Structure 1
Amino acid sequence: MIANKNLQKALYWLLFMLCFVGLPGLLVVYGFVYSNEQSRQNQLQKHGETLSSFYQNLQQFANNEAFYCNFLNSRFSNSSIAGKKARETISKRLAEFRQQLNFDYILYSQETGIATSSFALDDAREWELAMNTLARYSQSSDSKISEEAFIAAGRLLGPQLNLEHLDRSRNPEEPHLMYPDSTFKKPMIWAGMVHGYCIVILVKASDLESSNGVWKTVNEFISSTNGVYRFSIAEKSGFRHPDIPSLLRGQVEEALRQHEQGKQSQIQTRDLIVFPVFLNHGLTVLGYIEKASLTTDRLVLPSILAAIFFLIASVIAGRYSYGLIVREMPDNLSLRWKLRILFFFANGLPLIVLFFIGSDFLDQKRDNLLREMHDKGIQFVQDFDEKIEIEYAKALTSKKIAEKDLIEKLSTQPMNDEVIKSFTGKLSRNADWKVVLVASRSHLIGTEEGVIDDKKGIMPASYKNSSEQSLSQREYTRKVGQFFLDKINGTKVSDKAATEIELLLESVTQKPLVNFIFEMLRNRGTFIEWGFGRNIHPSILDTMRLKGSKTADYFFVANIRRLPFQFDFLSTYIPQANRNQLGMKILAINDVRFTVPKEAFFDTSVRDFAATLTTYPADEIRFMTYEDQQYLAMGFEGKYIKEYKLIGLYPLEKIDAIIRTQRRQLIVFAILSLLMTLALSQVLSQSFLVPLHLLTAGAHAIENKNFKHRLPDLGRDEFGSMGGIFNDVMIDLEELSVAGAIQEQLLPQQQIETGR
């Protein structure tokens, strides 16, 4: 029996320890394990976002030819190289980039000839002719090239040399190198003019299959991230690894095999977490981090403190319960403290669970807020992009108002400087206007500077030094204008003139003549894209009919220089747009001259982010550090503000402030809950202790034979019933006490004799 009783006590004690020590301990351990895993997942997510942003930039390597064009265009431009020491800077960059990308180059100046080259020039004179040909054509596509120079260029550079293809390397959508030899025996060509120097870079077809450009870029990224990431490249010839142990190389190669089978964006090996990206059929980049680098330092101190507290609490609870249950020792803990411990325990377990669930909820809410603000930011930037249409509408309205006065004057007098300047003076001042007015039956041309009469040699002073290209464009505009007027008026056009105009328009607009005329008629009087060669600008093409005339008498072309117009708009409206309730910032990136604000162009992270933007806003959540502050970044190439990359920035501090506030609210709620528990335990303990104190006082009254003592009403609970019974007993005792007193008075005090 004794053995069974001891076993029963031991079981009760173990059950007590399981409920009051084991379960809370398991909850705390699970909470820290869960927090640790969440921290690890959050770090993985951030690493994934960082690498995803970097991979967006790497997509230019999907087409190696496009990479060469984009890379060379950005490194060799007037905006990226200072004019004072241009030759030194260009020569230094050429030598540096040649080591990385493996190309040949020639640097040429029309004033001093060939400045430097990466290889020996067999025939210096022919190379001078060839370089002069490329330099002149790069400056102006209308330059007259001698047959000798062209033949020399073709002999050296390739038999299918086509100078018109030089501009293809600057095509923003699909840049291409120039292919001067269909057999690829001659290298492909990139050419550019920088501060009067002609740079010609020769790229062998075999070098386009190389991963040198990718390798250079990933190493730059590694340096910028302090070596957090490492990269391997899988190409046709095999793997290109950094200096890592063979064990890790094997794991990277195994990750590639898994990626090829399942196209996973994240692959975990024994020691690595690998993020692969496919660039093209011969190139896959694998970025990776070591699992050991996923630190949870912020949980170390809380874990140590929690372990120490739990150990102390376990020892105290174990000793107390063992003495109470097993050894049946008297309990020295007051009822008040027992109730407090009970309520704290009952409330503390749900609070522990609530804290960890609340932390997870706040992490999810942060992600939701990031997504919400990303979508709002995209909408905000799109709305801003569309606002420039208001400026175009103002310009169009001013043209319509000025046109009425122009028709009035031309109906009564011939076209002259005063009439034209009066007209252009009434056009809106929010744009730099270039105007051409062509009469249906006159060789006169009206411009914003005045009237031009080529036959009489009359022209504004600013036009006397016009380039050959400008003269040609003006002549083309006159022919197109008169042809269009003839078509509208039904005037007979000679077959020769029609063929000439048709060839001209198709070469300029890349559209059949019928389509061009249809678009002109449909969009007449509104802004369209118009120009020659690279000079394509928003333009108004229209016709004018004089008073009393039944035919169209004038062809009107007015264009706005796009970049200055957009720059003025952005300089005015971006500061206004940045004062908004959302707290958004807008950056407009073009080049060093036209970026708004200008200092944004010199921020490497801004330029790198802008380089990844396309015409479609990306759904990916991306971050950027700008002016020492972290931002949520979104953007796209402007639809209406063309040639600009529009970037929206939302301060991460605002989102983090919301999360911090709600985290503080969660902590305050927990503290308030504990305080309410304390107050409730105090109230309930009083409901026990007050009746007990009164009952104790009643017991003392019995001990002192004070049978007149009565307990007050103790309520309707068990204490109240006990108090009623106590008072009944006290009444009985009081009656017995009175009876005893009467008996003592009535009976004799002396001792009764027994007859002895």
Structure 2
Amino acid sequence: MKMIDTDRSRCVANWLKFAFFAVAVPLLVAWQAFVYLEKLHAESALRRYQIAAADILENLRVSADAHLYICSLMNQTFQSAKNPGQLQKDLEQLRSSSGINFEYMIWDKNGSVHSADFDWRSTGSDMKYAWQTLLGIGRRKIEVADARATANLRKIFGPQFFPELYQRCYSGRNIRLIFSDSSLKKKLAWIRTRPRMGLATFFEHDIVKGLPGLKFFMSVVARSSDMRLGAVKDGVWLGEGSADFSTAELAVISGSYENPIRVRDWYVFKNALRTDLCGFCYIDAASIERLVISTRARCGIMLFLVLALYVLWRSFRVICCGSSINLNIRRQLIILFVLSNAVSLLIMALVGYDYLGQYRLYLQAESFSKGVTYLQNIDEMFVSEYSRQLRRVRKALDKLEQRVTNHRPDRSNIAEFLQAQSGEPFRLFLIGSSTPYIGSELGIMKDGKFIEEINMDWARYKSMQTLVDSMGKLGQYYLAVLNRKSISEMMVAQVELIAESLGQLRPHEMFQEFFAATGSFWQWGMGFRYFPAYIDLFRDPDSGLANYVFLYLWNAHQLHRHYIDQLITDFNRNPLGIKVMAVDEDFRYANPPELLDHQQLRLYSAKLRERSGAEVDFCDWEGEKHLLMGLKCSSIDTIRLIGLYPISAIDREVSRKKQLFVALAIVSILVSLAMGLFVARSILLPLAELQRGIVALQKRDFAFRLADLGGDEFGNLAKVFNTTLVDLEELQVASTVQEKLSDNMSEPAQTGQVKWFAASISQYNFSGDYLAVEQLTDQRVMIVIGDVAGSGIGVSLILAYVKACILKLNRLYDQPEKLLVRLDTLLRELSSRAGRKCMTMQCALLDCRKSEVTVANAGHCFPVTIDPVDGDANVADMPSTPLGTGRKTVCCLKTFSLKPGGSLILYSGGLYRNSETGFSDFINDLVKNRSHCPKAWYDEVIAAVKGRVGAADCRDDMTMAVISCFDKPVESESIV
């Protein structure tokens, strides 16, 4: 009973070991994989929410600026409306949803009031005239409103309303509501017009003191997103509902430099909205850190657990209860290999998943970096635009200088110069030192009046007239200074006033700039703006005095737009696949124009006013998701460049990597399956081969051989089995082979005076000795004696081969030496050097008519002659090498003349190796047992050897041929 308990405990211990390694370890790995996936998901989700939070907080920053928020909201509503009726409907809906109180007035395409929610007639203003004035200024048909138009508009908007600046409520760097009444009687206004309609909205002054946009935006986000918004102003919580953080936690969040920051169960993203206002965007940490498991994944987990339980139950039944598995070895091994590789495949899948995620982030960062670099290159390439403009200016300037050398500036030569330029010119001034004519892009002026028109701006005729006249005085003063001519005090005073008003510089400072920049580009400040400019002098070739000063200015906005419009198509043909867009800082220009209608891109462009886009962002464009990048340009500083890189290109690269991983996984599974099949085959095939061998053994088929089963246990077992079969077969085959190979004579043969006998005795029926006796003619006989090293069936096969060769070489029977040499060649060709068998051989050719024996020896035992007088034995020294040894066999050829009564003995080594004392005993036996009958002599010698050492102890074969010569010839006898 104790033994049974011990066996059971051992079985349970083995089962527990199996359960630990086969079930517990994979479950632990799977659990760690789940934890790892959850961590990766959390990191990925945190990045996504961080990008989304940055966008939300940027919008919250815009909404925190009441002026900017209200102006943007009104502009968006106005832009999206297609007609006055829709605009009225959208305004009513906006007022009810946002909670912002305002009054509005809508003009139709004729300038009539389409609708208004206040008594607009009480203002006493001509509304149609007001709309025409605003539309003319907006479309740049009117530069400055006259007094009547200004007074009409001030009745509506306030006494400090300037019509020329109303566009600042929806474009420009500092977008603000229009404040035009210091007494606060008139409300704040927002105005915009276009040819088919116009809008004017009015707001109370208190609206900019609160945070209407902030509260409205928070409510919108609360309804449409799982993220929560809030803000802190002076330690007070502003947000939907009560604060989710304590006062101390809010202080920690506000003072922390981390972003995001983890506070209890929340991830908090923050951004400074204003100097006194900090915005928060936070989300439950569980929604980021918790891995959402799909239904398919849950089914996979359940299947994995069920499989683990089944393995536990089945293994317990097999190991502890002794039940069998009804699966063949092949299937068991395949299942073993597949399950053993499941863990490695799982780890490979995790590594691949992590790699693909990191690879996606790398591609995003790399594409973003390359895109920003490409946008910077576009910005820096603007230098080439300056060079191109400079070449055009200088080329045309040479012709202009020739024209005005002997002729005053007129419309034709100025117009010809302008036509040679690229892009729309902004300002041109050609001022002479001794001529009252001033050339400009507007026309030719004389004595303060235009006498010839070129590109006259009639909307600003008076201001342009003043500008050209002022620049004429400034140029004449500059030429007088250069030519050292006298200058009137009146001109000095006028020039000082002009220089101060144009460039906020004193005359000599401005002239110093002119002199330093002569013949090159420079940025000239005129008013509150800077313009790319080029200045040069026309000098008299004889006197060297300056006759004309030439000043050419470009409008930076127009030059930058011209550069973008001209090359935008080439910019979009880039190897990176980036779509390049451009927008100016005032949102009046965009290429393509659809950019201005894209809300997200407008907001992103607004960020670029302050800094370049340094963070990865995304947007949808034309129904496809793109990676968003932007640049605040330095060379084309009025333009913001935006680049869009399609996410589909990144997805394709990631998909290629994913396909590679899937292919590797499939290859791994196939390799595992192939290894399982290979191992199963390496076990099953040897077993099948051994089973076939057993069947052959039962049928006494000793010729059957097992295939080579390798160097493992099966291979060793097969070798033992084959060795046994070889031994059994050799015992069966050796006697048959021996009988066929040896030409044993039963009786002696005699021709003339010569009588001979040859026979061989095999001790184990697989002799290594060879004997062949061939009657060539009545008078000639060939006797061949040989000995192959070793024993067994292999030796018998060599003897059979030699027998076949001798039969084939019958033409060489009468040439013993050549016969041995040819046999040596054939033995060498039979096998390689490592497996080659060597063989000693003697070939004796008997010439019975002459009583001569010619012997060719190849390493065999030396022949022994018996003296016919005294009967002594003499050993004939015939040194040579065996067949199949060395580089070439050395044969020894000798002819023996037999005298009557003499004999020649040919023998194999077994006759003296079996003797007790060796060769001396064998010689003594030859002499002692001499007989006139060769057969009797042979029998006596064999009997003497066996009698001396015992027949059972004779290990080697014994072969001997006796050739004797008699006194007188006898009748020929055939070989028996």
Does residue 215 (structure 1) correspond to residue 208 (structure 2)? The answer is: no
**SS in structure 1 opposite 2:469?**
helix
- The separation in 2 between residues aligned to 1:314 and 1:273, in whole angstroms, is 38
Corresponding residue to 1:43 among 38, 45, 65: 45
Whether the aligned pair in 2 keeps the contact of 1:57 and 1:611 (CA below 8 Å) is no
- The separation in 1 between residues aligned to 2:92 and 2:394, in whole angstroms, is 52
Does residue 540 (structure 1) correspond to residue 540 (structure 2)? The answer is: no
**SS in structure 2 opposite 1:518?**
helix
Q: Tell me the TM-score normalised to structure 2 length.
A: 0.63
- The separation in 1 between residues aligned to 2:577 and 2:533, in whole angstroms, is 36
Taking the TM superposition and a 5 Å limit, the aligned residue runs for 1:721-736 are: 721-727=716-722
Letter of the aligned partner of 1:8 in structure 2?
Answer: R
CA shift for structure 1 position 165: 9.6
Q: Deviations over 1:131-174 (max 9, x none)?
A: 99x9899998877879x989x99x9879xx99999898789556
Per the alignment, residue 379 of structure 2 pairs with: 385
Of residues 268-277 and 573-582 in structure 1, the stretch that sits farther from structure 2 once superposed is: 268-277
Per the alignment, residue 749 of structure 1 pairs with: none
- The separation in 2 between residues aligned to 1:507 and 1:98, in whole angstroms, is 49
Structure 1 residues 457, 56: CA separation in 2 closer, same or farther (over 3 Å shift)?
Answer: closer
- The separation in 2 between residues aligned to 1:477 and 1:87, in whole angstroms, is 50
Per the alignment, residue 260 of structure 1 pairs with: 254
Per the alignment, residue 394 of structure 1 pairs with: 388
Does residue 436 (structure 1) correspond to residue 429 (structure 2)? The answer is: yes
Whether the aligned pair in 2 keeps the contact of 1:49 and 1:622 (CA below 8 Å) is yes
Q: Deviations over 1:588-610 (max 9, x none)?
A: 12478632112222222222221
Compare relative contact order (CA 8 Å, sep 6+) and give the higher one, 1 or 2: 1
Of residues 47-56 and 441-450 in structure 1, the stretch that sits farther from structure 2 once superposed is: 441-450
Of residues 71-80 and 683-692 in structure 1, the stretch that sits farther from structure 2 once superposed is: 71-80
CA shift for structure 1 position 651: 0.7
**SS in structure 1 opposite 2:546?**
coil
Whether the aligned pair in 1 keeps the contact of 2:535 and 2:551 (CA below 8 Å) is yes
Whether the aligned pair in 2 keeps the contact of 1:351 and 1:670 (CA below 8 Å) is yes
Whether the aligned pair in 2 keeps the contact of 1:233 and 1:284 (CA below 8 Å) is yes
Per the alignment, residue 31 of structure 2 pairs with: 29
Structure 1 residues 126, 603: CA separation in 2 closer, same or farther (over 3 Å shift)?
Answer: closer
Whether the aligned pair in 2 keeps the contact of 1:232 and 1:286 (CA below 8 Å) is yes
**SS in structure 2 opposite 1:553?**
strand
Per the alignment, residue 654 of structure 1 pairs with: 649
- The separation in 2 between residues aligned to 1:307 and 1:54, in whole angstroms, is 38
Letter of the aligned partner of 1:227 in structure 2?
Answer: S
- The separation in 2 between residues aligned to 1:285 and 1:439, in whole angstroms, is 62
Taking the TM superposition and a 5 Å limit, the aligned residue runs for 1:325-340 are: 325-340=319-334
Gaps of 5+ in 1: 739-756
Taking the TM superposition and a 5 Å limit, the aligned residue runs for 1:626-705 are: 626-701=621-696
**SS in structure 2 opposite 1:459?**
strand
Structure 1 residues 299, 70: CA separation in 2 closer, same or farther (over 3 Å shift)?
Answer: closer
CA shift for structure 1 position 11: 1.7
Taking the TM superposition and a 5 Å limit, the aligned residue runs for 1:109-508 are: 172=172, 194=193, 204=205, 207-219=207-219, 226-236=224-234, 238-242=236-240, 249-251=243-245, 256-268=250-262, 272-291=266-285, 293-294=287-288, 299-425=293-419, 427-432=420-425, 434-448=427-441, 450-454=443-447, 458-460=451-453, 463=456, 465=458, 467=460, 468-494=462-488, 497-508=491-502
CA shift for structure 1 position 43: 2.0
Per the alignment, residue 713 of structure 2 pairs with: 718
Per the alignment, residue 920 of structure 2 pairs with: none
Structure 1 residues 88, 443: CA separation in 2 closer, same or farther (over 3 Å shift)?
Answer: farther
CA shift for structure 1 position 256: 2.7
Q: Tell me the TM-score normalised to structure 1 length.
A: 0.80
- The separation in 1 between residues aligned to 2:637 and 2:490, in whole angstroms, is 38
Letter of the aligned partner of 2:501 in structure 1?
Answer: S
Q: Deviations over 1:180-208 (max 9, x none)?
A: 999x989997776746989696774x654
Q: Deviations over 1:389-443 (max 9, x none)?
A: 3333222211111111111121112222233233333x22444464222222443
Does residue 68 (structure 1) correspond to residue 67 (structure 2)? The answer is: yes
Of residues 193-202 and 401-410 in structure 1, the stretch that sits farther from structure 2 once superposed is: 193-202
- The separation in 1 between residues aligned to 2:105 and 2:501, in whole angstroms, is 32
Whether the aligned pair in 1 keeps the contact of 2:443 and 2:451 (CA below 8 Å) is no
- The separation in 2 between residues aligned to 1:94 and 1:538, in whole angstroms, is 47
CA shift for structure 1 position 26: 1.9
- The separation in 2 between residues aligned to 1:485 and 1:202, in whole angstroms, is 55
- The separation in 2 between residues aligned to 1:90 and 1:302, in whole angstroms, is 48
**SS in structure 2 opposite 1:458?**
strand
**SS in structure 2 opposite 1:620?**
coil
Q: How many residues align?
A: 717
Q: Deviations over 1:548-600 (max 9, x none)?
A: 34222222232334444443433332222212211110111247863211222
**SS in structure 1 opposite 2:381?**
helix
CA shift for structure 1 position 103: 7.6
What percent of counterpart residues are identical?
A: 23
- The separation in 1 between residues aligned to 2:602 and 2:457, in whole angstroms, is 41
Does residue 601 (structure 1) correspond to residue 596 (structure 2)? The answer is: yes
CA shift for structure 1 position 35: 1.8
**SS in structure 2 opposite 1:558?**
strand
CA shift for structure 1 position 75: 4.3
**SS in structure 2 opposite 1:582?**
coil
Taking the TM superposition and a 5 Å limit, the aligned residue runs for 1:576-595 are: 576-590=570-584, 594-595=589-590
Q: Cα RMSD between the aligned structures?
A: 4.7
**SS in structure 1 opposite 2:591?**
coil
Of residues 538-547 and 645-654 in structure 1, the stretch that sits farther from structure 2 once superposed is: 538-547
Letter of the aligned partner of 2:612 in structure 1?
Answer: P
Taking the TM superposition and a 5 Å limit, the aligned residue runs for 1:568-579 are: 568-579=562-573
Whether the aligned pair in 1 keeps the contact of 2:42 and 2:291 (CA below 8 Å) is no
- The separation in 1 between residues aligned to 2:591 and 2:482, in whole angstroms, is 44
Corresponding residue to 2:612 among 617, 625, 628: 617
**SS in structure 1 opposite 2:573?**
coil
Whether the aligned pair in 1 keeps the contact of 2:440 and 2:468 (CA below 8 Å) is no
Structure 1 residues 698, 125: CA separation in 2 closer, same or farther (over 3 Å shift)?
Answer: closer
Structure 1 residues 396, 191: CA separation in 2 closer, same or farther (over 3 Å shift)?
Answer: farther
Give 1 or 2: higher helix fraction. 1
Whether the aligned pair in 2 keeps the contact of 1:69 and 1:190 (CA below 8 Å) is no
CA shift for structure 1 position 350: 1.8
- The separation in 2 between residues aligned to 1:78 and 1:704, in whole angstroms, is 103
Whether the aligned pair in 2 keeps the contact of 1:450 and 1:459 (CA below 8 Å) is yes
CA shift for structure 1 position 529: 4.2
CA shift for structure 1 position 22: 1.4
Letter of the aligned partner of 1:358 in structure 2?
Answer: G
Gaps of 5+ in 2: 734-976
- The separation in 1 between residues aligned to 2:415 and 2:724, in whole angstroms, is 122
Whether the aligned pair in 1 keeps the contact of 2:612 and 2:630 (CA below 8 Å) is yes
Letter of the aligned partner of 1:626 in structure 2?
Answer: W
**SS in structure 2 opposite 1:617?**
coil
Of residues 15-24 and 332-341 in structure 1, the stretch that sits farther from structure 2 once superposed is: 332-341
Letter of the aligned partner of 2:214 in structure 1?
Answer: V
Whether the aligned pair in 1 keeps the contact of 2:338 and 2:672 (CA below 8 Å) is yes
Whether the aligned pair in 2 keeps the contact of 1:276 and 1:287 (CA below 8 Å) is yes
Structure 1 residues 149, 597: CA separation in 2 closer, same or farther (over 3 Å shift)?
Answer: closer
Per the alignment, residue 743 of structure 1 pairs with: none
- The separation in 2 between residues aligned to 1:89 and 1:525, in whole angstroms, is 57
Whether the aligned pair in 1 keeps the contact of 2:167 and 2:191 (CA below 8 Å) is no
**SS in structure 2 opposite 1:250?**
coil
- The separation in 1 between residues aligned to 2:99 and 2:364, in whole angstroms, is 39
Structure whose CA Rg is larger: 2
Whether the aligned pair in 2 keeps the contact of 1:274 and 1:288 (CA below 8 Å) is yes
- The separation in 1 between residues aligned to 2:268 and 2:552, in whole angstroms, is 56
Letter of the aligned partner of 2:446 in structure 1?
Answer: D
Whether the aligned pair in 2 keeps the contact of 1:105 and 1:202 (CA below 8 Å) is no
Letter of the aligned partner of 1:210 in structure 2?
Answer: G
Structure 1 residues 605, 198: CA separation in 2 closer, same or farther (over 3 Å shift)?
Answer: closer
